[in-house]
Amino acid sequence: MSQRGNTIAAVLAEPLQGAGGVYPPVPGYLEGLRKLCDKHGAFLIFDEVITGFARLGTWFGANFYKVNPDLLCFAKAVTSGYQPLGGVFVGSAVREPLEADADFILRHGYTYSGHAAACAAAITNLEIIEREGLRDRAVHIGKRIGEALTALARDGVIDHARGDGAVWAAGLHSTQSNIKIRDRMLELGAITRAINADTNTFCPPLVITDSQLDKLLDAFAAAASGK
Ligand SMILES: Cc1ncc(COP(=O)(O)O)c(C=O)c1O
């Protein structure tokens, strides 16, 4: 940005990189993006399609990492996937110049904008997240997964664990196959995702029970140990 800052309108980032391999931000990274954007007059956009709506134990990744974007995109967990819905929160830095002109109309619309059934599902889903305490549940789930994967790393079964909230990854040794582990786990009755060449990921629904979590983690431990 020091070379091309005046031509950059915005920086778009996931607070925690999800499908790219589950990489939490290194300390200072998001704060650094915020500072660079402020310095060069660019907007900071968070893609919270994975991190939004309680995945990290807070409503948004922005809350978890305490960095505020100017725009925030969300989808998936707003309805827990029961209806297709996505949206964008528009912060004051983006809104104020538009709202300053009382005659300005943002001519923007989709065929299914504000679709009533999708929005009704979202409102009910958000009530359920509140009622069932699923933000706290995400913290509990993440702690269980994080501790289990860290123990496996300590025992040398995997190379390392990484994650935040209720999204975790097992970083494998180069001798292990994430595909073979995924397939073996399926035989044992549990689903993981094989991402990149060396990673299995864990992002369970926040309603998963403790015994289901045990089954998931036992299946991973067995598969990663070649059993
Ligand atoms: C972080 C992130 N952003 C965006 C998307 C794509 O979302 P959509 O399919 O709603 O466009 C995904 C899909 O998994 C995602 O993980």
Question: 170-225 pLDDT, tens per residue?
Answer: 999 999 999 999 999 999 999 999 999 999 999 999 999 999 999 999 999 999 99
To test the ligand 1 pocket, which listed residue (50, 80, 112) has its Cβ within 8 A of the most ligand atoms?
50
- Pairwise CA distance, residues 210 & 217, whole Å: 10
Using pLDDT thresholds of 50, 70 and 90, give the confidence band for residue 31: very high
The CATH number assigned to the domain with range 5-131 reads 3.40.640.10
To test the ligand 1 pocket, which listed residue (12, 49, 71) has its Cβ within 8 A of the most ligand atoms?
49
Q: Is the CB of 164 under 6 A from ligand 1?
A: no
What percent of the chain is predicted at pLDDT more than 70?
Answer: 100
CATH 3.40.640.10 location in the chain: 5-131
Q: What is the pLDDT of residues 78-95, one digit of tens each?
A: 999 999 999 999 999 999
Predicted confidence at residue 54, as pLDDT, reads 97
Using pLDDT thresholds of 50, 70 and 90, give the confidence band for residue 108: confident
Average pLDDT over the chain, rounded to whole? 96
Using pLDDT thresholds of 50, 70 and 90, give the confidence band for residue 168: very high
CATH 3.90.1150.10 location in the chain: 134-224
Q: Residue 109 above 90 pLDDT?
A: no
Q: Is the CB of 13 under 6 A from ligand 1?
A: no
Using pLDDT thresholds of 50, 70 and 90, give the confidence band for residue 144: very high
- Distance (angstroms) between ligand 1 centre and the Cα of 104 equals 31
Q: Residue 107 above 90 pLDDT?
A: no
134-224 CATH choice from 3.40.50.720, 3.90.1150.10, 3.90.105.10, 3.30.420.270: 3.90.1150.10
- Which atom of ligand 1 is nearest to 51's Cα? 1
Q: Is the CB of 19 under 6 A from ligand 1?
A: yes
Q: Is the CB of 70 under 6 A from ligand 1?
A: no
To test the ligand 1 pocket, which listed residue (16, 23, 76) has its Cβ within 8 A of the most ligand atoms?
76
- Pairwise CA distance, residues 141 & 202, whole Å: 10
Closest residue by CA, ligand 1 atom 2 = 49
Q: Is the CB of 93 under 6 A from ligand 1?
A: no
- Distance (angstroms) between ligand 1 centre and the Cα of 49 equals 6
Range with the poorest average pLDDT among 51-55, 109-113, 147-151: 109-113
- Tell the burial category of 21 from Cβ atoms under 10 Å away from its Cβ (0-12, 13-18, 19+): middle
Predicted confidence at residue 106, as pLDDT, reads 83
Using pLDDT thresholds of 50, 70 and 90, give the confidence band for residue 5: confident
Q: Is the CB of 47 under 6 A from ligand 1?
A: yes
Q: Residue 23 above 90 pLDDT?
A: yes
Predicted confidence at residue 110, as pLDDT, reads 84
Using pLDDT thresholds of 50, 70 and 90, give the confidence band for residue 29: very high
